[in-house]
Structures are given as structure tokens and as C-alpha cells.
Amino acid sequence: MLEAKLHDGSSIEVEVHGTGPTVLLPVNPRPAEGAQADGMRKWGMDPALGRSLIEGLSDAFQVVAFDYEGHLMAMPRAETLTPATITADLLAVADAVGADRFAYYGYSWLALSGLQLALRTDRLSALVMGGFPPMDGPYAGMLKVTMATHEAAAAAASTPKAQQAPSDQMWGGQASDDQAWGDQAAGDFDWSTVEVTLTEPQTRQFATLYQSLQDFDDRTAQPQITCPRLCFVGSTDEISYGERWGDVHISLAGPIINHRTELEALGWDVHVLDGLDHTQAMQPTHVLPILRPWLLSQAGR
């Protein structure tokens, strides 16, 4: 198994599939099984999300898949998860497979990581952001949510009670492997019953990330993004957190829908997936019909 050495000296497993232009996918390439897979299906999620994306692209691209979020959950960076360290890690993965140029696709916090990557390297051939707006991003709101989550994790033992929220809705990422999935559909989730089962270091690293982004101006940064770029979002990607979580409303769809014309004038290709929420819009059945033809067009195929 190929491994990449990350900026902190740890190593992450990397899978390479197919041949052609390189696409970095920070996804878990291994399908969930058993009870975990059943729970994911109840949330409308593909238990083989990463594998499905790989299979949908690897006939035309060299797909480089690595479970970056899973790595961070296993080895949290409570004080050092920042745009600079994430960029160093993503470039280390590209270096490990000998890719001087590569496209990148990320969803939610992994999408905002791609935006930061694009601002720090000239090696990107294309950038695709799903489920997070490239302009007017909810950085202040996400800090409030992640700080509240961190405080809850620090105050209570990690014992599942009532429901546990899927991690993609706690900080804008994808669900972790050790998720204790609830029984309700994502759209019916009751935030007042959530008990945090993540550890203090796991939650603190995302608070650290959003703290580091509080002074980031994604509007003034737009001219610095020079590679071809695409963003997409579900039209109902709106998450309201209760009082325990800072009483915050996170709008991920609004900035893209409301500023679509402006984004397109800045060079973004924009797709809005009608009627889909955050979890639904990340599923391969919706992502691949957008991602694959767009990447092929950028590769001249």
C-alpha cells in the first residue's frame, strides 16, 4: 500500500486507481459494512461513497483516494489543523504519487480546504468544491458551532445517548467511520437531542481550523484563484442549530444561489441541485453526473 508522509510526520494510506490526468479525492475508499452500512443507508448515504466516486472516474483519470478525515479522527491535530498544514498534507499526497499537476474535489470542509489549496499552490489543474460556498462562506457561524461542540465534548464523557449527529453536519465534513448512526432521516434530525460522542481533541481541531479562518476574506481572494473551478450545492443545504449549539443557522446554499451570477463572472461554473440537502448532495448518484463531465472537459476529452 502506498503511503504519503504528512506534515506532522504521520503517514496516510493512499490508493491509486486508473490512468490519465490525476484527481485527488479525500474520501474513504473502503465501503462501510454491517450495522454501520445499514445506519448510513437510513441517513440516505451511500456506504460505499468513496468507492463509488473512484469507480465513476478511474476509467478516465488517475484517481488518488485517501481518507483524510478518517486520519484526522484517528490522529487529531487539536492545535495545528490550519489551512497551511492542510495544504502541506494535500501536496504531500500529490508528491507521493508523483503528480506535479492535479485536479482536486472536496465536499464541505474538504471543499474549503481545496479553496485554501488553490490559494497556496500553482499545481492545481482544476478545483471542484461541493457543499461549501467559495464566496461568503459561513466561517463565523461554523466557528460558533464547532466551539459549542468542543465545549460539549470537553464537559461530558464520550457516551452515546439519544442521537448522535452525523459529523458532516457538525462541522461541515463527511461522516467518520466510528459514527453511531441515529434512526431518523437527516432532514428530520432533532438537534435538541444530540449528545456529542466525539473526543475533545477531535472536536478541538475543527474549532482550531475555523478560528484560523476568521480573518479570511474569500471575496478579495477570488482573483488569486486561477485554475478552472466548479462549485455545486443542494438547493436546501441549510442547517439550523439549536440553543445548545449557539443557536446558529448555517446557510451553505444561500451564498451560491444568491450570488450565482457574480460567481460565474468570476470564473466559477455553478450547479445547484434542486431539492437536495447537505447529505443528499454529496452522494455519488448526484455528484458524478456533474463532476465527471466537467473534469473531462477540463482535460480536453
Q: How far apart are CA 168 and CA 283, in angstroms?
A: 12
User: What per-residue confidence (pLDDT) applies to 163?
Assistant: 42
Q: Which of 43, 14, 38 is nearest to 27 (CA)?
A: 14
Residues 6+ apart with CB under 8 A from 117: 86, 87, 90, 91, 104, 124, 127
Q: Assign 205 to helix, strand or coil.
A: helix
Distances from the Cα of 245 to the Cαs of 36, 68, 163, 195, 239, in angstroms? 26, 25, 15, 11, 12
Exposed/middle/buried for 192, CB within 10 Å: 0-12, 13-18, 19+?
Answer: exposed
User: What per-residue confidence (pLDDT) applies to 40?
Assistant: 81
User: What per-residue confidence (pLDDT) applies to 177?
Assistant: 33
Q: Topology of domain 2-298, per CATH?
A: Rossmann fold (3.40.50)
The answer to whether 169 and 186 are in contact (CB under 8 A) is: yes
- The C-alpha cell at 64 is 488518488
Q: Which positions of the chain have pLDDT values less than 50?
A: 157-158, 161-188, 191-192
Exposed/middle/buried for 117, CB within 10 Å: 0-12, 13-18, 19+?
Answer: buried
- Per-residue pLDDT tens over the stretch 103-121: 999 999 999 999 999 999 9
